[in-house]
Amino acid sequence: MYLLSTHTLQLREFFGKAVPPYAILSHTWTDDELRFSDIHPSTSRAARSKSGYEKVFKACAFAKKEGFEHIWVDSCCIDKSSSAELTEAINSMYSYYRDASVCIIYLADVPGLAEPDMGADKAYWLYRFKSSRWFTRGWCLQELIAPKRRIWLARDWSYIDPAEFSDPNAKFLDTVASVTGISIEVLKDRTTMSHLCIAERMSWASARRTTRPEDAAYSLMGLFGINMAVLYGEGLENAFGRLQGEIMKTSFDQTIFAWRGPYNNSGLLAHSPADFARTPKLGLWGRAPLSPFSMTNVGLHIR
């Protein structure tokens, strides 16, 4: 994987056990992000003028202050000119966030509590927090669940202090859970996710959006421990169908069929994560032995 030096803002590639401790950035993209091709010893004036450059620069500065010499930023640490590199990065994305020492969650549309226009209006600030675009993006789902440690930052790069922001009657993670629909147990310990049924995990992504349709499926691979080919251009229905097919190869959990799509949807498999939006909370799934099932060229086969 490529990592940015927090001292020089230059890229360096690491392999296997040679990967050093690193911070990782979670953020929402704009049209002016810093790209892999923009990072080189003599970064051009055009690259430095991008709004994304300032974000990467400040992310590096923050990570450095936290004691890290390296940081991973998705916009500029993936060589998208190489299809093999892109496929590897997308399949490894969950592990990148899982293995990072800390995840810096930067909410570009949430003001700092100390900003002049906020004053003491914490109720309005809480509304802005809950309405952040970050909570609506597909890739940000795994970026919330996978990390072992999270630091939340407002648009001015100030800390979002859970103790200061929270309603006196609600803890910070309770608020995040209410916004995302993710159980607080999973937010505290990602390993508990494996005990939840497939339908409930799918429902977390049901209202999220991605720029490229296929990413609605690809962004879920890590949550289900799936690796598969990345084929941009295949469309969401094909990508999501392949994802469900791969899940069925490793799981007996039949809640994968517990979806409710539009009336004109047909077939056993959902067409997109949105089809799981109305799935009731099913919680833990039984691990008693079940009959194996699989999709064949003539339909569902149950032995």
The pLDDT assigned to 51 comes to 78
If you search the block for the tokens 């500065």, which residue do you land on? 61
Contact 240, 270 (CB under 8 A): yes
The pLDDT assigned to 268 comes to 85
The pLDDT assigned to 177 comes to 94
Low-confidence ranges of the chain (pLDDT < 70): 41-46, 116-120, 162-170, 263-266, 282-303
Give, in degrees to the nearest 5, the angle at Cα 97 between 91 and 100: 130
Torsion sign over Cα 263, 267, 272, 276: positive
Measured CA to CA, the distance from residue 31 to residue 52 in angstroms comes to: 9
The pLDDT assigned to 125 comes to 85
State pLDDT tens for residues 71-117.
999 999 999 999 999 999 999 999 999 999 999 999 999 998 777 66
The pLDDT assigned to 291 comes to 63
Side chain identity at residue 100, one-letter code:
A
The pLDDT assigned to 79 comes to 93
Side chain identity at residue 195, one-letter code:
H
State pLDDT tens for residues 230-242.
999 999 999 999 9
Closest by CA position to 258, among listed 303, 198, 301 = 198
Exposed (0-12), middle (13-18) or buried (19+): which is 85, by Cβ within 10 Å? middle
The pLDDT assigned to 297 comes to 63
The pLDDT assigned to 122 comes to 77
Contact 142, 219 (CB under 8 A): yes
Collapsed DSSP state (helix, strand, coil) of residue 271: coil
Q: Are strands 70-72 and 2-5 parallel, antiparallel or unpaired?
A: antiparallel
Q: Which residues are 102's β-sheet partners?
A: 23
The pLDDT assigned to 10 comes to 92
